[in-house]
Amino acid sequence: MKNLLKYLRHYRKEAVLAPLFKMLEASFELFVPLVVASIIDTGIAGNRLDYVLSMCLVMILLGVIGLVCSITAQYFAAKAAVGFAAELKHALFAHIQSLSFSELDTVGMSTLITRMTSDVNQVQSGVNMFLRLFLRSPFVVAGAVVMAFTVNVRAAVIFAVAVPVLSVTVFGIMLASIPLYRKVQERLDSVLALTRENLTGVRVIRAFHKEKEEQEDFRERNQTLTRVQLFAGKISALMNPLTYIIINAALVLLLWQGAGQVGQGVITQGQLVALVNYMSQILVELIKLANLIITLTKAAACGKRIGGVFQIRSSMTDAKPGEERRQERPMSEAAAEQKLSEREERPDQIRFEHVGLTYQGAGAEALSDLDFSIKKGQTVGIIGGTGSGKSSLVHLIPRFYDATAGRVLIDGVDVKDYSLEQLRHKIGIVMQRAVLFHGTIRENLLWGNPEATDEELNRALEVSQSLEFVSEKEGGLDFMIAQGGQNLSGGQRQRLSIARALVRNPEILILDDSSSALDFATDARLRMAIREMGGERTVVIVSQRPSSIRHADQIIVMDDGRAVGKGTHEELLKSCQVYREIYETQYQNEKGGEANG
């Protein structure tokens, strides 16, 4: 939590002024019982209406000044807390963006969202309450005891005994409640996780007729939460009766002793009323302080979780722009070009040198000993069964993950020696899951190239087979897409994701099973349009359909993280059993479908 307080550095003035004004308000509040005592002893006892009215005006003035001080303190505390939370969120979001996919997979997206929202809000509330009450409550308690001694020393002894007893009671209940409320939070997290899971998978639950089982599971978790919450509530509920018993016992003792002193003329009736008021102020402030400490404890726990995210360091280092080093070709550019000309072949644009990949926490390699090259301008297909490592392979090219063995080179340079900006500027990738953001179609496409013209956007839509349905939408490019593209079909989302990558006009285009929702005819037109775009663009297509990659210059067959076959469609049918099985299975399915039709 201490490390997070640096985000208050731009709000030091507010962080100082807020408690100062709160203490000023408390000072005026401590004078009120003395004014009341003066009204009783001088005004009422002496039957002086003018004095009573003047003292009432003084009380109103004290109230107005206290109100102004309170509002000012609230303003500065809120400004400091909100500013602190804003800077913390910006820093946390920037730090999360700097993490590699390995760290994001390890921590989990739902955890990071919780840290950025509810945890930061809890810390913000803790900072706000700290600035407002942490100095005020002890100041009022100590001030009330001091003022009581100025009124009457013998009566104030009761304060000296009652305050420690009250403190032990309040803070004892608080210390017993804190771990219980932590359990409540854990049970609440469990209920929320189940709720989120059910809402996300509601179609699957209904498809398998599991509503009753899920409802029973929710009921059990909710009942567990209820039991823990009731027990914590019962412990906390002891706060009011115990404190009021103690304070009322002290008041009875104070009135009993004070009445005798009033009868003896040691103290006046007004002074006795002032002592009672000071006792009431102490009770209120101790309860406030106990609640504040509970809030601060929660804030500290949330701050610790946020600090844990900041402590995560990315396993991926980013080279500075302009520092990439040529590693594969130590010869001069002229010599290299001459050699290539003699061999009459294109240079390698992508090169895998005995590459292996092990995910964090995994017991075995996801990819093993991948060794192949892709020439500039080639179209390469990657095929294999589910879990064979196809997506893991292509994620190494834009450096979403770093190879744990071997190295990946782009244009003869290790991807680790590029800055991430330079590397990813060369690459356009369309993920397996099409992700669109809330906004217009134009705004989503401009992610690929913010400077793109409408002509370039329409060309990308045409190549991706999206132009027809986009032109039919109300507003065309200005059609508003719902969050996640919920107002579009799966095929439309995939085609717009492909268009977004094409707008960048990348040197390397990676389609990671991004046409799975398209029919065969649309998929064929898409691949043909990409080939006809012109330019020496290297295209890597990940697919589970042999028909989608059969015309590729090279096909790489993946099985259990290894490349078990490389070659053209015809070559692999003869030499690779895995490819032949995939092809025959699809061919039989298509043939069976045509027969059934």
Domain ranges of the chain: 2-311
Write down the CATH number for the domain with range 2-311: 1.20.1560.10
Which structure tokens are listed for 530?
Answer: 């990409």
Spatial distance between the Cα atoms of 361 and 439, rounded to a whole number of angstroms: 37
Angle at 459 between CA 457 and CA 464, to 5 degrees: 95
Q: What pLDDT is recorded for position 320?
A: 60
Spatial distance between the Cα atoms of 501 and 482, rounded to a whole number of angstroms: 20
Torsion over CA: 97, 101, 107, 109 (sign): positive
Paired residues of 427 in beta bridges: 508
Spatial distance between the Cα atoms of 67 and 73, rounded to a whole number of angstroms: 10
Nearest to 243 by CA among 170, 156, 140: 170
Spatial distance between the Cα atoms of 267 and 72, rounded to a whole number of angstroms: 38
By the 8 A CB rule, do 510 and 427 touch?
yes
User: Per-residue DSSP letters for 61-86?
Assistant: HHHHHHHHHHHHHHHHHHHHHHHHHH
- CB neighbours (10 Å) of residue 1? 16
Which structure tokens are listed for 182?
Answer: 């932590």
User: Per-residue DSSP letters for 105-152?
Assistant: HHH-HHHHHHIIIIIHHHHHHHHHHHHHHTTHHHHHHHHHHHHHHHH-
Read off φ and ψ for residue 50, nearest 5 degrees: -60, -40
User: Can you give the pLDDT of all 597 residues of the chain as single tens digits?
Assistant: 677 888 888 898 999 999 999 988 888 888 888 888 888 888 887 888 888 898 899 989 988 998 999 999 999 999 999 999 999 999 999 999 888 888 888 887 777 887 888 889 989 998 998 898 888 888 888 888 888 888 778 777 888 888 888 888 877 887 887 788 778 877 877 887 788 788 878 889 999 999 999 999 999 999 998 998 899 888 878 877 887 888 888 888 888 887 888 878 777 888 888 888 888 888 788 778 777 877 877 788 788 888 888 988 887 777 665 554 444 444 445 444 544 444 445 677 899 999 999 988 777 889 999 999 999 888 999 998 888 889 899 999 999 888 989 999 999 899 988 888 888 888 999 988 888 899 999 999 999 889 999 899 999 999 999 988 999 888 889 999 988 888 888 889 999 999 999 998 889 999 988 877 788 888 888 888 888 876 778 999 998 888 888 888 999 999 989 999 999 999 999 889 999 988 888 776 555 544 444
Spatial distance between the Cα atoms of 39 and 367, rounded to a whole number of angstroms: 87
Residue that the structure tokens 């002592």 belong to? 275
By the 8 A CB rule, do 175 and 290 touch?
no
Paired residues of 541 in beta bridges: 381, 511
Q: Give helix 12-38 / helix 49-98 axis angle, nearest 10°.
A: 160
Spatial distance between the Cα atoms of 474 and 497, rounded to a whole number of angstroms: 20
Q: Where are the beta strands (DSSP E) in 471-586?
A: 480-481, 508-512, 538-542, 554-559, 562-567
Total H helices, total E strands in the chain: 22, 12
Helix locations, 328-446, DSSP H? 333-343, 390-395, 420-425, 441-445
